[in-house]
Chains A and B, each alone.
Chain A
């Protein structure tokens, strides 16, 4: 343990004094241990232990009402997953959500950031207005939109009808529900990303645009050859965080559609929650969690790899 802490202290401390020092006092080790312990306990309790438990339970028939009767059933849970139509559908729904929401949300955020970056009167109000959905609870947002999208009496359908478009079923139609959730999610999440893009835009050296003006570049060319390349690190950061966040979709479908109609909006996390807690089938839910975790790790590695290539390019 002493050796481990010494190594930890050595790695973590970057000051010249510590880098040059070969010996650590007992007091330093104890205080390092003291600072490390709470985080270590939390990490073990809430990250390491659940992962180990999920791996273990995934191979059992653990039923929550019979916690003492767990039996090892080998790959049974994993075999069941292959033929589980709802699980496959929930996986495909999650992928569909990610594929659509990430580009939509990021382009909306970038568009809004470009608008509020203009030096025009009242821009502060718009910044606040566009950012406000980011501070609202997702449950509140979901309930609000459910009321507004009501097919018969909702505000959105009233507006559509006033402009001559027939009322839409939105959340009650299997073909529209997921796209509706995608649009709402993009709207509610883009405010936060707009602020990050805005910070990036503020950091772009104005002389670059001046030089481009002298060279006769138009607005689109300036956006394409100055703004986008300068924002690339921010863009990559947002792609990674938004993608990971999108895979964790659960609140909106749970509140707005319950996963329906016809399971068209059920997501992997909702499926895991329902199987684990509502149906108390911890064994099967753990197996799904395990596979999904592996999938997410692979996705993260791919994105990281792309990011690295981007950096070296």
Chain B
């Protein structure tokens, strides 16, 4: 019996040694890439195609293998697998991260910097917002493969039904407008809707759709992504430049002022709801919508009867001339625990292939992702046979080139974002809070929570 146990143990040990050796050998010959896109999603397919073309163009180089791991909601599933890989020291060579999360991973020493390994001038090919998103303490870590954008969309039939003087409040697609003008238009729409029997308003529910229900459903980042720009446009922010100071920043007078303007949406008669019904704008229940860039394809493909027009994201103040429109998206990063210089160069070469001008154009064509390369923004087609598509992309293209700003870089961004979205943005909407003092209290409470959590980053 003892002999048998000994024999089995020796066999298992030998197999594990062989296994280790073969793993190490095979790991050297391939570069693994993990993405958060489902394999059967257009985004997953475009990555798979891009990797395939790399392998075909580099038959003598290391083979690139891609794993598209489906993410749910804010990234769970994919992030859970990544966390497990980090714990087991089995991180892939290249993986994707949402732009604002890069700071947390850099702070933990998990990402490798890219500057010294990139080809000459490659980094400068990215738009400034994407460079800012991937830069921590002056070093570049994340190559954004896709940018994003938010604009205001309106239901053309509903707006056309309004009296001429109200219709005149709607800006053209190449005009800036302010939050106050947006509120004024929303009020007029609501006043008209309540007295009109125009068929365009048959399903009317609320003038503005904000998608705050996504915050309740756990997609906290959407709230921060949509509404932090209100603070930017008022010379404020949610965290200081150092990424870990919130007191005096998130709860500054300027922040309170900006959020008090946002709160105007919830003053009686309310113009927006924290609990709007599903697809409010898509189904003609709201006349206006704060819309992410993904609305364009969604509306054109799935709601062909909806006539939607697009105008710019409103400014907080007419005089503000800084960057103020929401942007940023997922980026490719590399495993910072790789120390072999030669291999790092190969990895960064693959990253460049996945993020060069050509890739950026491909991604727009296949998935409607806003290009992150300056030379590829022209790939945005604003001259199709669909005028709604053309208008929307004209606005989004303008914002990507002129007004997009990256979200702040902070090691504690996920917590910061969740607290801001849940304890401030959503709370104002749910409680229909409109007074400055209460909003200041929400911000002070949020600051208190975040300060406790951020203690660990200050050590």
Task: Point out residues on A near B: beta carbons under 8 Å.
Answer: 61, 63-67, 80, 86, 147, 150-154, 169, 171-172, 174, 254-255, 257-262, 277-281
Q: List 11 A-B contacts (CB under 8 A).
A: A65-B86, A65-B108, A151-B273, A151-B275, A152-B275, A257-B216, A260-B422, A260-B426, A261-B427, A261-B431, A278-B414
Mostly, the A contact residues are: loop
Tell me, in angstroms, the Cα distance from A278 to B104 when the chains sit together: 12
Distance between Cα atoms of A151 and B273 in the complex (Å)? 10
Interface residues of B, dominant DSSP: helix
Q: How far is the CA of A67 from the CA of B431 in the complex (A)?
A: 40
Residues of B contacting A172 with CB < 8 Å? Answer: 274-275, 430
* Contact B415–A279 (Cβ < 8 Å): yes
Contact B277 A152 (CB under 8 A): yes
**Complex contact B104–A262 (CB within 8 A):** no
B431 near A153 with CB under 8 A, answer no
**Complex-state Cα separation, A86 to B452, whole angstroms:** 13
- Judged by a CB distance under 8 angstroms, whether B83 is at the interface is yes
Question: B205 at the A/B interface (Cβ < 8 Å)?
Answer: yes
Q: Does any Cβ of A come within 8 Å of B27's Cβ? A: no
Residues of A within 8 A of B64 (CB): none
CB pair B216–A152 under 8 Å, yes or no, is no
The answer, among A64, A171, A259, A278, for a CB contact under 8 Å with B275, is A171
How far apart are the CA atoms of A269 and B76 in the complex, in Å? 17
How many angstroms from the CA of A172 to the CA of B456 in the assembled complex? 34
Set of chain A residues within 8 Å of B427, measured between Cβ atoms: 260-262
Q: Is B80 in contact with A277, judged by CB distance below 8 angstroms?
A: yes
Compute how far the CA of A258 lies from the CA of B426 in the bound complex, rounded to whole angstroms.
Answer: 11
* Residue pair B414, A260 in contact (C-beta under 8 Å): no
Q: Which residues of B contact A (CB under 8 A)?
A: 76, 80, 83, 86-87, 104-105, 107-110, 205-206, 215-218, 273-278, 285, 414-415, 418, 422, 426-427, 430-431, 449, 452-453, 456
For residue B110, which residues in chain A have a CB less than 8 angstroms away from its CB? 65
> Once the chains are docked, how many angstroms separate the CA of A255 from the CA of B217?
6
- What residues of chain B lie closer than 8 Å to A66, measured between beta carbons? 108-109
Verify A258–B431 contact, CB threshold 8 A. no
Check A254 against B276 for contact (C-beta < 8 Å). no
Give bound CA distance, A281 to B162, whole Å.
53
B449 proximity list for chain A (CB < 8 A):
86
Quick one: given A65-B108, A150-B277, A261-B430, are A277 and B218 in contact (CB under 8 Å)?
no
A61 and B431 contact, CB distance less than 8 A: no
With known contacts A151-B275, A152-B277, A169-B275, A258–B218 Cβ distance under 8 A: yes
With A65-B104, A65-B110, A152-B275 known, 8 other A-B pairs at CB within 8 A are A66-B108, A66-B109, A67-B87, A153-B277, A171-B275, A262-B430, A277-B80, A279-B414
Q: How far is the CA of A151 from the CA of B452 in the complex (A)?
A: 35
Known interface pairs A63-B456, A150-B275, A172-B275. Does A254 touch B108 (Cβ–Cβ under 8 Å)?
Answer: no
Bound Cα distance A4, B83 (Å): 39
Contact of B206 among A80, A152, A171, A261 (CB under 8 A): A152
List the A residue with the shortest CB-CB distance to B418: A278
The distance in angstroms between the C-alpha atoms of A171 and B426, with both chains bound, is: 13
State how many angstroms separate the Cβ of B278 from the closest Cβ of chain A: 7
- Bound-state CA distance A259–B423 (Å) is 11
B107 to chain A: closest residue by CB: A65
Min Cβ gap A297→B in Å is 28
B339 to chain A, nearest CB (A): 16
Bound Cα distance from A66 to B456, whole angstroms = 12
Nearest CB in chain A: distance from B443 CB, A: 15
| Shortest CB distance A288–B (Å) | 15
State which of A64, A65, A258, A277 has its C-beta within 8 Å of the C-beta of B215.
A258
Nearest chain A CB to B354 CB, angstrom units = 24
Complex: A21 Cα to B218 Cα, angstroms: 61
The smallest C-beta distance from B84 to any residue of chain A, in angstroms, reads 10
**Which chain A residue shows the least CB distance to B215?**
A258
Choose one: A64, A261, A279; the contact of B86 (CB below 8 Å).
A64
CA distance A41 to B235 in the complex (A): 59
Residue of A nearest to B459 (CB): A61
A83 nearest in chain B by CB position: B452
Q: How far is the CA of A280 from the CA of B453 in the complex (A)?
A: 11
Q: Known: A63-B456, A171-B275. Is A153-B86 also a contact (CB below 8 A)? A: no
Separation of A174 and B216 alpha carbons in the complex (Å): 13
- Check B218 against A279 for contact (C-beta < 8 Å): no
Q: Considering the chains assembled together, what is the distance between the CA atoms of A169 and B275 in angstroms?
A: 9
Question: B216 contacts which chain A residues (CB < 8 A)?
Answer: 257-258, 260
* A262–B285 CA distance with the chains assembled, in angstroms: 27
Q: Is A152's CB under 8 angstroms from B278's CB?
A: no
Nearest-neighbour CB distance to chain A for B4, whole angstroms, equals 12
Contact A67 B205 (CB under 8 A): no
Q: Smallest CB-CB separation from B87: which chain A residue? A: A67
Return A156 CB to nearest CB of chain B, in Å. Answer: 13
Give complex CA distance A176, B360 in Å: 49
Q: Smallest distance from the beta carbon of A211 to chain B beta carbons, Å?
A: 57
What is the CA–CA distance of A277 and B104 in the complex, to the nearest angstrom?
Answer: 14
Nearest to A64 among chain B residues (CB) is B83
Closest beta carbon of chain B to A238's beta carbon, Å: 32
Q: How far is the CA of A63 from the CA of B105 in the complex (A)?
A: 11
CB-CB nearest in chain B for A26: B1
- Nearest-CB distance from A223 to chain B (Å)? 42
Which residue of A has the minimal Cβ distance to B426? Answer: A260
Contact indicator B422/A258 (Cβ below 8 Å) = yes
Q: How far is the CB of B248 from chain A (nearest CB, A)?
A: 22
